[in-house]
Amino acid sequence: MITEKDIEEVHDIALASEAEVESLLTRLLSQVTDNVEGCRQAIPLVHEAMVNAGLSVDLHHAAAGASESFPILIGWVGPRSVSPDVMLCAHLDTSPAGPGWNRNPLGENHSEYVFGRGAAVSKSDIAVYIHAAKAARHGLRKRPDISIAVAVTCDEGSGGDCGAGYLLGTMGLRPRMAICAGVSDVVTIAHNGCVQLKLQLTGTACHQSLVPSREDAMRHAALVCKSLYDYADELAQRSSAVPGLIHPTLNITRVAGGSAFGMSPREVEIWIDRRVLPDEQLADAYHDILIRIRATQAGTDVNTNIETVRLAEPMRPLEAARAFVHCLQNEAQIALGKNLKEQGSTLYTDARWFSASGIPTVMFGAGEADIKLSGANGSDERIAKRCLREGVVVLSRALTQYCLQTSGDKPWQR
């Protein structure tokens, strides 16, 4: 049976790793990982950190076509298993740094924050997961049969097919519990899905003063945008039963076309992003958008081609995940006096792959609950150092307690 002393030792190991967590994160931030080649170059840093933490490591390559592959690292505590007791999954790939930074996007360490692209999403989670597994390894040393896997993937931003999808599909892994990149201020129990479409509108290219209105691609683009934003206003009247999720959203993220004042554009492109609540059905959301687009076709000779870029199911809450949620909440309260609320996220992430496979899944890691404040995927992205510390402490304690509870051992009774 685990004792109070064992849990306190786990806690102390987690606290003692603070400098190592910051160091690993800073080194990861110095690597540009907005493309697969950059991820390949950064993978050895993760491999080294896993080995130094006492994990045994496997490197896999998920093929994407005939000539490209995405690396995946899995660090193991305990035996390798098709159904580990817990899998922690975070991604190394990031969005491009983009403009508008006042800090160094390749990493800048300050007294309370670490800045850089990927600081919040989700290089910080990688550092926290490795060191939480290291601390939990000590707490589980009397149970060498318990298996924990730390998976680091490289294609969350491109859909996850060669990351989480590969782990569950090609490799056939079925963890009993999945923890995916999240924040340390709340336990995320659900997140939105998405419908992402590209419209290619083709009309007539001629002098703008001569183009018939029925053949004007830009005029038709304006009608489509108005119809979709009217629909977005209707969506805002709906509500979600998941805390933290208010209503579905629809936004047009790109409109492109035209070349000169005197020229009517032949083609206009529109990008559409509809976020789907866990309460909704993805197929219904997709169908509703198509109905809106097709309704604008009356009265025009502009041709509309619809490309479906991505259909991502929401991460839906599963009752079987509540045991780990309670472990996180209990350990946060005892260790930090912190009340971890359950919440949904407007983002869509790799967590959806696990929940869609019927695997109990939560999102928890390092970061502030207000992702806008953290600058996630924006300029001056940051992570608060206290989030790194709290994430390792709470997660390592919760991993130890959960693995013993679900394996039939008797955890420390408070």
Cα gap 139→75, rounded to integer Å: 17
Here the CATH number for the domain that contains residue 203 is 3.30.70.360
**Which ranges constitute the DSSP H helices of 300-384?**
322-336, 351-356
pLDDT in tens, 70-97: 999 999 999 999 999 999 999 999 999 9
Crossing angle of helices 123-139 and 18-29, rounded to 10°: 150
Give Dmax (Cα) for the chain.
84
Token digits for 152? 């680091």
First vs last Cα of the chain: how many Å apart? 13
Give me the torsion for CA of 16, 19, 23, 29, rounded to 10°: 100
Clarify whether residues 28 and 129 are in a common domain. Answer: yes
| Number of helices (H), then strands (E), in the chain | 10, 15
pLDDT over 90 at 3, yes or no: no
Name which residue leads in pLDDT, 409 or 98.
98
Considering 312, 327, 349, which residue would you say is the last residue of a domain? 312
Q: Is residue 338 a part of any domain in this protein? A: yes
User: Is 411 among the domain residues?
Assistant: no
Q: Nearest to residue 271, comparing CAs of 258, 252, 289?
A: 252
Q: Is residue 99 part of a domain?
A: yes
CA distances from 233 to 228, 237, 274, 292 (A): 9, 7, 12, 13
pLDDT band for position 65 (cuts 50, 70, 90): confident
Containing structural domain, residue 43: 4-191+315-406
Query: Does residue 413 belong to any structural domain of this protein?
Result: no
Cα–Cα distance between 410 and 187 in angstroms, integer?
25
Is there a domain that residue 93 lies in? yes
* Start-end of H helices in 296-371: 322-336, 351-356
Per-residue pLDDT band for 409 (boundaries 50, 70, 90) equals low
Which tens digits make up the pLDDT trace of 384-393? 999 999 999 9
**Burial class of residue 110 in the structure, from the number of CB atoms within 10 Å of its CB (0-12 exposed, 13-18 middle, 19+ buried):** exposed
Handedness of CA 133, 381, 73, 349 (dihedral sign): positive
Decide: 183 and 387 in contact? Cβ < 8 Å: yes
Evaluate whether residue 90 is within a structural domain: yes
Asked whether residue 412 is domain-assigned, the answer is no
Question: What length does the chain have?
Answer: 414
DSSP track, 47-83: HHHHHHTT-EEEEEEEEETTTEEEEEEEEEESS--SS
Q: Are residues 329 and 352 in the same domain?
A: yes
- At residue 182, the pLDDT reads 96
Q: Are residues 18 and 167 in the same domain?
A: yes
The CA distance from 136 to 117, in Å, is: 28
Asked if residue 63 has pLDDT above 60, the reply is yes
Across the range 192-199, mean pLDDT stands at: 98
Please choose, from the candidates 151, 161, 150, the residue with its C-alpha nearest in 3D space to the C-alpha of residue 70: 161
Under 8 Å between Cβ of 26 and 109: yes
For residue 38, the tally of other CB atoms under 10 A from its CB is 16
Side by side, the strands of the sheet bearing 267-276 are: 249-257, 267-276, 193-202, 303-312
Q: How confident is the model at residue 408 (pLDDT cuts 50, 70, 90)?
A: low
For residue 414, being part of any structural domain is answered with no
Give the C-alpha separation, 331 to 319, whole Å.
20
Rounding to the nearest 10 degrees, give the CA dihedral for residues 281, 284, 288, 293: 100
Whole-number Cα distances in Å, 319 to 54, 122, 281, 288, 323: 33, 26, 19, 30, 8
Is the bond into 122 cis (omega within 30 degrees of 0)? yes
Q: Which of 292, 312, 332 is the C-terminal boundary of a domain?
A: 312
Can you give the pLDDT at residue 349?
95
Query: Do both 125 and 180 map to the same domain?
Result: yes
CA pair distance 245, 252, nearest whole angstrom: 20
pLDDT the model gives residue 36: 96
Q: Are residues 208 and 327 in the same domain?
A: no
Q: How many domains does the chain have?
A: 2
Among candidate residues 284, 312, 340, the one where a domain is terminated: 312
Are residue 231 and residue 320 in the same domain, yes or no?
Answer: no
Q: For position 324, which CATH number holds?
A: 3.40.630.10
Q: Are residue 234 and residue 132 in the same domain, yes or no?
A: no
- The answer on 123 and 34 residing in a single domain is yes
Query: Whole-angstrom Cα distance, residue 114 to residue 98?
Result: 18
Query: Considering the chain, what percentage of its residues have pLDDT values greater than 90?
Result: 91
pLDDT in tens, 203-257: 999 999 999 999 999 999 999 999 999 999 999 999 999 999 999 999 999 999 9
pLDDT at 414 > cutoff 70: no
Indicate whether 413 pLDDT > 60. Answer: no
Q: CA 163 from chain center: how many Å? A: 12
154 and 203 share a domain? Answer: no
Helical (H) or strand (E) element with 384: strand 382-384
- pLDDT at res. 411: 47
Q: Are residues 215 and 297 in the same domain?
A: yes
Claim to verify: residue 110 and residue 245 sit in the same structural domain? no
Whole-angstrom distance, CA of residue 88 vs CA of residue 365: 10
Both 12 and 48 in a single domain? yes
The token duo for 48 is: 């080294």
Alpha-carbon distance 216 to 220, whole Å? 6
Q: Is 284 exposed, middle or buried (0-12, 13-18, 19+ CB in 10 A)?
A: exposed
